[in-house]
Amino acid sequence: MSTYVNVNGNPDDVTGTGARLKGQAESFGAQVKSILGDIQSIEAQQPWGTDEPGQAFLASYNQQPAGGGAPFSQSLQDEMSTAGEQLGKTGDGIMLAMVQYQSTDSTNSDDIKNVKNA
């Protein structure tokens, strides 16, 4: 294997890790959506109350960041809604990277052998 790029572990093992991530993505996504449903249910009950500490929490929870963008409460829910999908894409990316790595390494090895024989 190549020593130019340091891959910790056998590329086939790394590919296997990517495959496991992809395989677990659907289950993870379902779990996260369940938690997201719980968050939305709790928010609907407005548990923070009307007292000063509760209203301070609510203001902070819904505050828009200084640089712009969605408030924490909304960005958390947005990220959670796609967490399983993103994990699946990460698994796909790992597997693709290792396939490309192995293909490039094989091609380069063949090219080097052809230079020695010429």
Least confident of 10-19, 46-55, 69-78, 88-97: 10-19
* Mean confidence (pLDDT) of the chain: 88
The one-letter amino acid at 105: D
- For 20-38, b/e burial (b = at least 16 CB within 10 A) is ebbeebeebbeebeeebee
Domain assignment present for 73: yes
Q: Which residue has the higher pLDDT, 118 or 48?
A: 48
Domain assignment present for 109: no
Q: What is the DSSP letter of 2?
A: -
Q: What is the pTM of this model?
A: 0.67
Domain assignment present for 30: yes
Structural domain boundaries enclosing 18: 11-83+92-100
Give the count of alpha carbons within 13 A of 50, CB side only: 0
Domain assignment present for 117: no
d(CA 65, CA 77): 15
Identify the pLDDT of residue 1.
47
Residue 8, pLDDT > 80, answer no
Q: What are phi and psi of 78, to 5 degrees?
A: -65, -45
In the chain, % of residues over pLDDT 90: 61
The 10s digit of each residue's pLDDT in 69-112 is 999 899 999 999 999 999 999 999 999 999 998 899 889 888 88
d(CA 104, CA 2): 10
Domain assignment present for 20: yes
The one-letter amino acid at 91: G
Identify the pLDDT of residue 2.
44
Domain assignment present for 114: no
Identify the pLDDT of residue 6.
56
Domain assignment present for 5: no
Six token digits for residue 111: 């090219």
